[in-house]
Amino acid sequence: DGGITQSPKYLFRKEGQNVTLSCEQNLNHDAMYWYRQDPGQGLRLIYYSQIVNDFQKGDIAEGYSVSREKKESFPLTVTSAQKNPTAFYLCASKAKGEGQFNQPQHFGDGTRLSIL
Amino acid sequence: SQELEQSPQSLIVQEGKNLTINCTSSKTLYGLYWYKQKYGEGLIFLMMLQKGGEEKSHEKITAKLDEKKQQSSLHITASQPSHAGIYLCGAPLPGYGGSQGNLIFGKGTKLSVKP
Protein backbone atom coordinates (compact mmCIF):
# COMPACT_ATOMS: atom_id res chain seq x y z
CA ASP A 1 0.00 0.00 0.00
CA GLY A 2 1.19 3.53 -0.75
CA GLY A 3 1.77 5.84 2.12
CA ILE A 4 4.09 7.92 4.26
CA THR A 5 6.25 6.23 6.86
CA GLN A 6 7.73 8.16 9.76
CA SER A 7 10.23 6.63 12.14
CA PRO A 8 10.81 6.24 14.95
CA LYS A 9 7.40 6.71 16.61
CA TYR A 10 9.06 7.89 19.84
CA LEU A 11 12.47 9.54 20.19
CA PHE A 12 14.43 10.88 23.13
CA ARG A 13 17.12 13.51 22.89
CA LYS A 14 19.88 14.28 25.35
CA GLU A 15 21.21 17.79 25.89
CA GLY A 16 23.58 18.88 23.12
CA GLN A 17 22.60 16.02 20.86
CA ASN A 18 21.38 16.14 17.27
CA VAL A 19 18.66 13.68 16.30
CA THR A 20 17.24 12.79 12.89
CA LEU A 21 13.61 11.96 12.15
CA SER A 22 12.95 9.84 9.10
CA CYS A 23 10.17 10.39 6.54
CA GLU A 24 9.74 8.12 3.51
CA GLN A 25 6.91 8.15 0.97
CA ASN A 26 6.08 5.76 -1.87
CA LEU A 27 3.27 7.89 -3.33
CA ASN A 28 5.54 9.41 -6.00
CA HIS A 29 4.71 12.84 -4.60
CA ASP A 30 6.89 15.81 -5.55
CA ALA A 31 6.35 18.03 -2.52
CA MET A 32 7.17 17.11 1.08
CA TYR A 33 6.67 19.01 4.34
CA TRP A 34 7.67 18.94 7.99
CA TYR A 35 5.37 20.31 10.70
CA ARG A 36 5.67 20.69 14.41
CA GLN A 37 2.54 20.27 16.57
CA ASP A 38 2.37 21.58 20.13
CA PRO A 39 -0.68 21.34 22.39
CA GLY A 40 -3.08 24.17 21.68
CA GLN A 41 -0.94 25.60 18.88
CA GLY A 42 -1.96 23.68 15.81
CA LEU A 43 0.55 22.76 13.11
CA ARG A 44 3.48 25.00 12.26
CA LEU A 45 5.58 24.58 9.12
CA ILE A 46 9.29 23.89 9.66
CA TYR A 47 10.64 23.15 6.17
CA TYR A 48 9.22 22.18 2.81
CA SER A 49 10.55 20.85 -0.48
CA GLN A 50 8.86 21.11 -3.86
CA ILE A 51 11.49 19.11 -5.75
CA VAL A 52 14.56 16.95 -5.20
CA ASN A 53 17.70 18.85 -4.11
CA ASP A 54 15.69 21.94 -3.20
CA PHE A 55 14.00 23.00 0.03
CA GLN A 56 12.80 26.18 1.74
CA LYS A 57 12.42 27.36 5.32
CA GLY A 58 8.98 27.51 6.82
CA ASP A 59 7.81 29.61 9.74
CA ILE A 60 9.95 27.99 12.46
CA ALA A 61 13.10 26.66 10.75
CA GLU A 62 15.60 27.81 13.38
CA GLY A 63 17.32 24.86 15.04
CA TYR A 64 16.27 22.41 12.33
CA SER A 65 17.85 21.17 9.09
CA VAL A 66 16.64 18.98 6.21
CA SER A 67 17.89 17.33 3.04
CA ARG A 68 16.10 16.12 -0.08
CA GLU A 69 18.52 13.89 -1.96
CA LYS A 70 15.83 11.47 -3.13
CA LYS A 71 12.22 12.05 -4.13
CA GLU A 72 11.03 9.48 -1.58
CA SER A 73 12.92 10.77 1.44
CA PHE A 74 12.88 14.01 3.46
CA PRO A 75 14.72 13.55 6.80
CA LEU A 76 14.55 16.24 9.49
CA THR A 77 17.44 16.85 11.89
CA VAL A 78 16.68 18.53 15.19
CA THR A 79 19.93 20.19 16.20
CA SER A 80 21.19 21.14 19.64
CA ALA A 81 20.40 24.75 18.68
CA GLN A 82 16.69 23.95 19.03
CA LYS A 83 16.18 24.71 22.72
CA ASN A 84 12.63 23.48 23.01
CA PRO A 85 12.40 20.39 20.79
CA THR A 86 9.74 18.51 22.74
CA ALA A 87 6.80 18.21 20.34
CA PHE A 88 4.96 15.96 17.93
CA TYR A 89 6.50 16.08 14.44
CA LEU A 90 4.47 15.37 11.33
CA CYS A 91 5.69 14.76 7.79
CA ALA A 92 3.41 15.27 4.79
CA SER A 93 3.59 14.95 1.02
CA LYS A 94 1.56 16.27 -1.88
CA ALA A 95 1.19 15.37 -5.54
CA LYS A 96 1.71 17.97 -8.20
CA GLY A 97 -1.75 18.79 -9.58
CA GLU A 98 -3.10 21.05 -12.24
CA GLY A 99 -3.05 23.86 -9.72
CA GLN A 100 -1.56 24.32 -6.29
CA PHE A 101 -4.94 24.15 -4.59
CA ASN A 102 -6.46 20.94 -5.86
CA GLN A 103 -4.26 18.32 -4.25
CA PRO A 104 -4.41 17.62 -0.51
CA GLN A 105 -1.40 16.98 1.67
CA HIS A 106 -1.19 13.45 3.05
CA PHE A 107 0.36 12.84 6.44
CA GLY A 108 2.47 10.23 8.20
CA ASP A 109 1.69 8.98 11.71
CA GLY A 110 4.16 11.30 13.39
CA THR A 111 7.18 11.11 15.70
CA ARG A 112 7.00 12.23 19.32
CA LEU A 113 10.28 13.77 20.45
CA SER A 114 11.09 14.28 24.12
CA ILE A 115 14.05 15.65 26.06
CA LEU A 116 15.86 13.34 28.49
CA SER B 1 -3.50 37.09 15.04
CA GLN B 2 -4.74 33.67 14.08
CA GLU B 3 -5.29 33.53 10.32
CA LEU B 4 -7.66 30.57 10.54
CA GLU B 5 -9.98 30.61 13.50
CA GLN B 6 -11.77 27.39 14.51
CA SER B 7 -14.75 27.22 16.80
CA PRO B 8 -15.53 25.76 19.16
CA GLN B 9 -12.16 24.73 20.62
CA SER B 10 -13.76 21.63 22.09
CA LEU B 11 -17.11 19.93 21.96
CA ILE B 12 -18.75 17.14 23.90
CA VAL B 13 -21.90 15.66 22.39
CA GLN B 14 -24.16 12.74 23.15
CA GLU B 15 -24.06 9.91 20.65
CA GLY B 16 -26.68 10.42 17.96
CA LYS B 17 -26.65 14.21 18.15
CA ASN B 18 -25.71 16.52 15.27
CA LEU B 19 -22.89 19.02 15.54
CA THR B 20 -21.17 21.78 13.56
CA ILE B 21 -17.57 22.99 13.59
CA ASN B 22 -16.60 26.28 11.98
CA CYS B 23 -13.43 27.57 10.33
CA THR B 24 -13.19 31.29 9.61
CA SER B 25 -10.63 33.38 7.75
CA SER B 26 -10.24 37.14 7.47
CA LYS B 27 -8.96 36.60 3.92
CA THR B 28 -10.56 34.97 0.90
CA LEU B 29 -9.99 31.24 0.87
CA TYR B 30 -8.72 29.75 -2.39
CA GLY B 31 -9.08 26.23 -1.05
CA LEU B 32 -10.08 24.72 2.27
CA TYR B 33 -9.10 21.29 3.53
CA TRP B 34 -10.63 19.41 6.44
CA TYR B 35 -8.63 16.80 8.34
CA LYS B 36 -9.29 14.52 11.30
CA GLN B 37 -6.64 13.50 13.83
CA LYS B 38 -6.75 10.86 16.55
CA TYR B 39 -4.54 11.70 19.52
CA GLY B 40 -0.90 10.81 18.85
CA GLU B 41 -1.53 9.97 15.21
CA GLY B 42 -1.27 11.67 11.84
CA LEU B 43 -3.91 13.71 10.03
CA ILE B 44 -6.44 11.95 7.85
CA PHE B 45 -7.73 13.91 4.86
CA LEU B 46 -11.52 14.26 4.85
CA MET B 47 -12.57 16.76 2.19
CA MET B 48 -11.40 19.65 0.06
CA LEU B 49 -13.51 22.66 -0.98
CA GLN B 50 -12.60 25.23 -3.59
CA LYS B 51 -15.61 27.04 -4.93
CA GLY B 52 -17.87 29.49 -3.11
CA GLY B 53 -21.07 27.72 -2.10
CA GLU B 54 -19.52 24.29 -2.60
CA GLU B 55 -20.74 21.44 -0.43
CA LYS B 56 -19.32 17.93 -0.15
CA SER B 57 -20.42 14.92 1.86
CA HIS B 58 -18.80 11.69 2.92
CA GLU B 59 -20.86 9.26 4.94
CA LYS B 60 -22.30 11.39 7.76
CA ILE B 61 -19.93 14.33 7.40
CA THR B 62 -20.80 17.37 5.27
CA ALA B 63 -18.52 20.32 4.63
CA LYS B 64 -19.52 23.64 3.08
CA LEU B 65 -17.64 26.72 1.91
CA ASP B 66 -19.69 29.92 2.05
CA GLU B 67 -20.32 32.11 -0.98
CA LYS B 68 -17.84 34.74 0.19
CA LYS B 69 -15.20 32.01 0.60
CA GLN B 70 -14.23 33.15 4.09
CA GLN B 71 -15.92 30.54 6.24
CA SER B 72 -16.30 26.79 6.12
CA SER B 73 -18.42 24.54 8.31
CA LEU B 74 -18.15 20.84 9.01
CA HIS B 75 -21.41 19.17 10.02
CA ILE B 76 -21.70 15.68 11.49
CA THR B 77 -25.10 14.04 11.49
CA ALA B 78 -26.04 11.44 14.12
CA SER B 79 -22.60 11.42 15.76
CA GLN B 80 -20.94 8.15 16.76
CA PRO B 81 -18.00 7.39 19.06
CA SER B 82 -15.93 6.77 15.91
CA HIS B 83 -16.28 10.47 15.07
CA ALA B 84 -14.31 11.47 18.16
CA GLY B 85 -10.97 13.16 17.53
CA ILE B 86 -9.51 16.52 16.58
CA TYR B 87 -10.80 18.22 13.45
CA LEU B 88 -8.48 20.68 11.72
CA CYS B 89 -9.02 23.01 8.82
CA GLY B 90 -6.15 24.05 6.57
CA ALA B 91 -5.93 26.58 3.75
CA PRO B 92 -3.38 28.09 1.38
CA LEU B 93 -3.17 31.79 2.25
CA PRO B 94 -1.32 34.63 0.53
CA GLY B 95 1.78 35.64 2.45
CA TYR B 96 2.20 32.16 3.87
CA GLY B 97 3.40 30.35 0.77
CA GLY B 98 -0.14 29.63 -0.34
CA SER B 99 0.74 30.07 -3.99
CA GLN B 100 3.22 27.21 -3.55
CA GLY B 101 0.63 24.93 -2.00
CA ASN B 102 1.67 25.52 1.63
CA LEU B 103 -1.13 25.38 4.17
CA ILE B 104 -1.97 27.34 7.29
CA PHE B 105 -3.89 25.30 9.85
CA GLY B 106 -6.43 26.22 12.47
CA LYS B 107 -5.73 25.13 16.05
CA GLY B 108 -8.27 22.34 15.83
CA THR B 109 -11.57 21.39 17.46
CA LYS B 110 -11.52 18.49 19.89
CA LEU B 111 -14.67 16.38 19.60
CA SER B 112 -15.75 13.87 22.24
CA VAL B 113 -18.82 11.69 21.70
CA LYS B 114 -20.46 10.21 24.80
CA PRO B 115 -22.06 6.79 24.30
pLDDT by residue (tens digit) across A25-47?
A: 999 999 999 999 998 788 999 99
Q: What percent of chain A has pLDDT over 90?
A: 77
At B28 the pLDDT is 85
CB B23 within 8 A of CB B35: no
Q: CA-to-CA distance for A106 and B83, rounded, in angstroms?
A: 20
Q: CA-to-CA distance for B100 and B88, rounded, in angstroms?
A: 20
Contact at CB, A101 and B88, closer than 8 angstroms: no
- B92: nearest CA partner in chain A: A101
Q: What percent of chain B has pLDDT over 70?
A: 92
- Can you give the length of chain B in residues? 115
| Partners of residue B97 in chain A, C-beta under 8 Å | 45, 48, 56, 58
Average pLDDT for residues B9-23, to the nearest whole number?
Answer: 97
Q: Is the pLDDT of residue A106 over 90?
A: yes
Mean pLDDT of chain B: 91
